């Protein structure tokens, strides 16, 4: 056994790809590995159209590869759709804050945008002249062929002259139209500038109920029937060639494209739109979501009937095995080697030492990933960077690379979860300089008290952990263990630790077994194990595999 891989002259800045799929086209397109997800995704007949996975699991890579391989793909990004125009509209906000359910409008918005984008793509409607000509031809044709599509024809006539303009302009026009109708139907004259002040101020309860009633009546007039007819028209008259499927992909739904309260309802409406477009056999609408965001959408919109199990048939969960990740790395190393003008194929197990201490390198590597391609790619990149001058990857280079890799993975984790668990930045101190495996009852009491006090008094962080800390300090009967349980529920969910419950048969990890545990499952005798990816960054005390 040697402590290094085969001799290889690495070029400066050699790597096997980039962290983000948007910058990784060179490697992605040459070394794409389909583990069954791509074929499922590209099949218009498959119900799977909601890509769900952790950051770095390959959601964006799948969508980019689809756009690369298929001819008719429309890529939509929420931040480019001016959806913030909705939250900034005073009238819309007024009715939302009163409790008027605007979900029919949000559903109409997505269906309208998607239908128009599909028609634009199918017929090349890039100018006003082309659009007018198409409307004239399609209306005349359908009148002769199918009078039953009258509502669809009326909708196309009403909106068709705007089909060629940018999507964000159509969203603004639809929003302004609804706001005008809501204000006209309100029955009370309130200057637009004062609407935001009236929700909890001058309006009587009777006035509020009357406005809500009138607002709901306006929502009933939203053109959902017409859009249902348009969708039927798309299926029966537009997208009729099974050899030419069309796709609409929507990514980056977890970014800051609109404030959270509206974002959850818009994503809920988008999921409903996906179901509606399933009726168009040769069209597939695909969205990508982080699993934590999907759970948040379910919980925040539960009152309108959205439950995960009802949508399970639509969800494609991205999961990777050790063997699949190794195969992906082999493909990427092959691309890097070709770029070095070396014809002999080289694999991961050749380029790296056979073992690191007492375990194989591939096991050592996988233990320091969350079974996500991005983690593995970044770890290998860091090892290559540390090996440029040596001309081969040595065990010492792997140890040096791991230190920086671990630090960057912690930073990435905190960034990924900062919207849902901003207090993680402080509570993670509970895991610093601890054994790799410990019982929750053994946590440093002084440190725990300091963290609880800091988070209870925090004005910067607001999440379930700060709430648990505040409840504990402000209640005589509150249990400190309840706070610890909440900390470790979060640590488990984000992948920092695995848990072994009292009387349990083994370790549970969110990456492998289950995305969530309940507070009731976490006892003082529950054991926690810090994920090896974070050992170096957290200065974890562990029995090293290196010896």
Asked if residue 440 and residue 413 are part of one domain, the reply reads: no
C-alpha closest to that of 286 among 22, 113, 42? 42
C-alpha closest to that of 287 among 467, 100, 60, 105? 60
Asked if residue 328 and residue 313 are part of one domain, the reply reads: no
Q: Are 431 and 536 in contact (CB under 8 A)?
A: no
Asked if residue 214 and residue 103 are part of one domain, the reply reads: yes
H helix and E strand count, the chain? 24, 10
Long-range contacts for 53-56 (Cβ within 8 Å, ≥24 apart)? 53/290, 53/291, 53/317, 53/318, 53/319, 54/290, 54/291, 54/370, 54/372, 54/495, 54/511, 55/290, 55/372, 55/374, 55/412, 55/416, 56/19, 56/370, 56/372, 56/373, 56/374, 56/375
For 460, the domain range is 424-538
Percent of the chain with pLDDT over 90: 52
Judge whether 59 lies within some domain.
yes
Split at pLDDT 50, 70, 90, the class of 544 is very low
Residue 467 burial (C-beta neighbours within 10 Å; 0-12, 13-18, 19+)? middle
Judge whether 28 lies within some domain.
no
So what's the pLDDT on residue 144?
Answer: 66
Mean pLDDT of the chain: 86
So what's the pLDDT on residue 212?
Answer: 72
Asked if residue 76 and residue 183 are part of one domain, the reply reads: yes
Query: CB under 8 Å to 368, separation ≥6 — which residues?
Result: 375, 379, 402, 405, 406, 532, 533
Judge whether 2 lies within some domain.
no
Query: CB under 8 Å to 295, separation ≥6 — which residues?
Result: 308, 515, 516
Split at pLDDT 50, 70, 90, the class of 341 is low
Which of 366, 387, 417 terminates a domain? The answer is 417
So what's the pLDDT on residue 41?
Answer: 96
Number of domains in the chain: 3
So what's the pLDDT on residue 147?
Answer: 58
The residue to which tokens 């056999």 are assigned: 281
Asked if residue 67 and residue 131 are part of one domain, the reply reads: yes
The residue to which tokens 């289950």 are assigned: 514
CA distance readout (Å), 399 to 375, 393, 515: 16, 11, 30
Q: Are 284 and 247 in contact (CB under 8 A)?
A: yes
Which of 317, 340, 364 terminates a domain? The answer is 317
So what's the pLDDT on residue 162?
Answer: 66
CA 173, distance to chain mean position in Å, is: 28
Asked if residue 183 and residue 302 are part of one domain, the reply reads: yes
Asked if residue 233 and residue 377 are part of one domain, the reply reads: no
3-state SS track over 429-443: HHHCCCECEEEHHHC
298-333: string of b/e by CB count within 10 Å (b at 16+)?
A: bebbeeeebeeeebeebbbebebeeeebbbbbbbbb
Query: CB under 8 Å to 205, separation ≥6 — which residues?
Result: none
Asked if residue 249 and residue 235 are part of one domain, the reply reads: yes
Q: Which segment of 63-72, 165-174, 346-355 scores lowest on mean pLDDT? A: 165-174
Tens digits of residue pLDDT in 212-263: 777 776 666 666 677 888 899 899 989 999 999 999 999 999 887 888 878 9
Asked if residue 475 and residue 391 are part of one domain, the reply reads: no
Which of 398, 417, 436 terminates a domain? The answer is 417
Strand (E) or helix (H) holding 493: helix 480-494
Judge whether 484 lies within some domain.
yes
Judge whether 29 lies within some domain.
no
Q: Alpha-carbon torsion 288, 289, 290, 291, what sign?
A: negative
Judge whether 212 lies within some domain.
yes
Strand (E) or helix (H) holding 113: helix 103-123
So what's the pLDDT on residue 483?
Answer: 97
Residue 48 has pLDDT above 90, yes or no: yes
Query: CB under 8 Å to 364, separation ≥6 — which residues?
Result: 356, 357, 398, 545
Q: Are 87 and 94 in contact (CB under 8 A)?
A: no
Asked if residue 407 and residue 436 are part of one domain, the reply reads: no
Judge whether 206 lies within some domain.
yes
Please tell me the pTM assigned to this model: 0.87
Asked if residue 525 and residue 408 are part of one domain, the reply reads: no
Query: CB under 8 Å to 253, separation ≥6 — which residues?
Result: 78, 263, 267, 270, 287, 288, 289, 293
Percent of the chain with pLDDT over 70: 88
Judge whether 1 lies within some domain.
no
Asked if residue 260 and residue 181 are part of one domain, the reply reads: yes
């Amino acid at each position: 056994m040697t402590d290094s891989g085969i001799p290889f002259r690495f070029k400066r800045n050699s790597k096997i790809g980039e962290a983000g799929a948007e910058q990784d086209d060179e490697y992605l397109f040459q070394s794409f590995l389909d583990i069954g997800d791509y074929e499922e995704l590209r099949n218009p007949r498959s119900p799977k159209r909601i890509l769900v996975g952790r950051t770095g699991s390959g959601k964006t890579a799948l969508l980019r590869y689809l756009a690369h391989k298929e001819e008719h793909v429309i890529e939509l990004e929420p931040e480019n759709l001016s959806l913030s125009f909705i939250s900034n509209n005073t009238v819309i906000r007024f009715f939302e804050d009163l409790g008027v359910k605007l979900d029919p409008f949000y559903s109409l918005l997505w269906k309208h945008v998607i239908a128009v984008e599909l028609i634009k793509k199918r017929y090349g409607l890039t100018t006003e002249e082309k659009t007018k000509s198409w409307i004239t031809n399609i209306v005349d044709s359908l009148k002769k062929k199918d009078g039953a599509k009258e509502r669809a024809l009326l909708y196309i006539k009403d909106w068709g002259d705007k089909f060629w303009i940018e999507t964000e302009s159509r969203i603004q026009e639809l929003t302004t139209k609804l706001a005008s109708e809501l204000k006209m139907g309100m029955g009370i004259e309130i200057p637009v500038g004062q609407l935001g002040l009236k929700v909890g101020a001058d309006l009587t309860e009777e006035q509020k109920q009357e406005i809500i009633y009138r607002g709901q009546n306006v929502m009933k007039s939203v053109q959902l029937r017409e859009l249902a007819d348009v969708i039927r028209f798309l299926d029966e008259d537009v997208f009729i060639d099974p050899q030419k499927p069309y796709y609409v992909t929507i990514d980056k739904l977890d970014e800051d494209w609109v404030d959270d309260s509206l974002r959850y309802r818009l994503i809920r409406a988008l999921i409903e739109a996906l179901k509606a477009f399933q009726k168009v056999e040769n069209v597939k609408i695909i969205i990508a979501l982080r699993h934590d965001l999907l759970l948040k959408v379910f919980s925040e919109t539960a009152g309108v009937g959205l439950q995960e199990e009802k949508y399970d048939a639509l969800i494609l969960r991205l999961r990777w095995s050790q063997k699949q990740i190794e195969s992906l790395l082999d493909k990427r190393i092959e691309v890097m080697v070709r770029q070095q003008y070396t014809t002999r194929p080289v694999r991961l197990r050749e380029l790296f030492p056979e073992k690191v201490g007492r375990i194989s390198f591939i096991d050592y590597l996988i233990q320091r990933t969350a079974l996500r391609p991005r983690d593995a790619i970044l770890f290998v990149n860091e090892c290559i960077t540390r090996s440029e001058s040596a001309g081969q990857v040595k065990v010492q280079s792997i140890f040096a690379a791991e230190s920086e890799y671990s630090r960057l993975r912690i930073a990435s984790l905190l960034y990924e979860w900062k919207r849902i668990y901003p207090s993680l930045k402080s509570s993670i101190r509970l895991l610093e300089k601890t054994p790799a495996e410990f019982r929750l009852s053994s946590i440093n009491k002084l440190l725990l008290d300091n963290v609880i006090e800091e988070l209870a008094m925090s004005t910067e962080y607001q999440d379930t952990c700060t709430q648990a800390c505040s409840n504990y300090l402000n209640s005589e009967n509150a249990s400190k263990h309840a706070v610890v349980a909440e900390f470790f529920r979060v640590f488990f969910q984000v992948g920092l630790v695995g848990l072994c419950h009292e009387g349990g048969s083994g370790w549970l990890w969110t990456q492998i077994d289950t995305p969530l545990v309940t507070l009731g499952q976490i006892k003082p005798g529950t054991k926690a194990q810090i994920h090896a990816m974070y050992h170096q960054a957290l200065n974890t005390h562990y029995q090293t595999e290196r010896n």
